[in-house]
Amino acid sequence: MTKLTLGTHPYLLGFEQLERLVERTAKSGNDGYPPYNIEQTSDRSYRITLAVAGFGEEDLSITVEDNQLVIRGRQRDDGEDRIYLHRGIAARQFQRSFVLADGVDVGEAIMENGLLHVDLTRKVPDSVVQTIKIRRQSS
């Protein structure tokens, strides 16, 4: 018996990219840092909140690459001339990726009390009904 995948099922035409999308999502970094929330703020909007304590706005970058929201953080190490007796706050870098569906736009990003909020909105597609005419093949 042959195993059918999403991209090869005979009733799912044009969904070849969906399988690649699922694989890419599974491979994205899931190390748990930084912690984040995803909330639905209305019928068509969402908010991703990352806990980025210790990061300044200049330490963060937010990009959209190939329907993927990528948030990167890299702290500058200002402690070259400091002598630490204990260093429990790590200045570690991170990259957190979120795959976006078609029609989801990234809005504004807001820093507030060590939290980075990124707002997303989903466009409502116009309902389109298309009628296909049948042409008679001439012999």
- Check if the beta carbon of residue 4 is closer than 8 Å to that of residue 15: no
Question: What does the pLDDT look like over 70-128, one tens digit per residue?
Answer: 999 998 766 678 888 988 877 789 999 998 988 899 999 999 999 999 999 998 877 77
Q: Based on the domain organization, do 84 and 41 belong to the same domain?
A: yes
Whole-number pLDDT of residue 57:
93
Looking at residue 79, which CATH number applies to its domain?
2.60.40.790
Q: Based on the domain organization, do 47 and 85 belong to the same domain?
A: yes
| pTM, two decimal places | 0.71
Q: Based on the domain organization, do 66 and 11 belong to the same domain?
A: no
Instruction: Note down the domain range covering 63.
Output: 31-122
Q: Based on the domain organization, do 70 and 94 belong to the same domain?
A: yes
How far is 104 from 44, CA to CA, in rounded Å?
9
Lowest mean pLDDT across 6-10, 48-52, 130-134: 6-10
Question: Environment class of residue 121 by beta-carbon count within 10 Å: exposed (0-12), middle (13-18) or buried (19+)?
Answer: middle
How far is 47 from 27, CA to CA, in rounded Å?
22
Q: Based on the domain organization, do 13 and 44 belong to the same domain?
A: no
Number of domains in the chain: 2
Whole-number pLDDT of residue 18:
67
Residue 138 belongs to a domain = no
Expressed in angstroms, the distance from the first to the final Cα of the chain is 41
DSSP string, 74-102: -----GGG---S---S----EEEEEEPPT
Q: Based on the domain organization, do 70 and 86 belong to the same domain?
A: yes
Residue 139 belongs to a domain = no
Question: What does the pLDDT look like over 33-63, one tens digit per residue?
Answer: 899 999 999 999 999 999 998 899 999 999 9
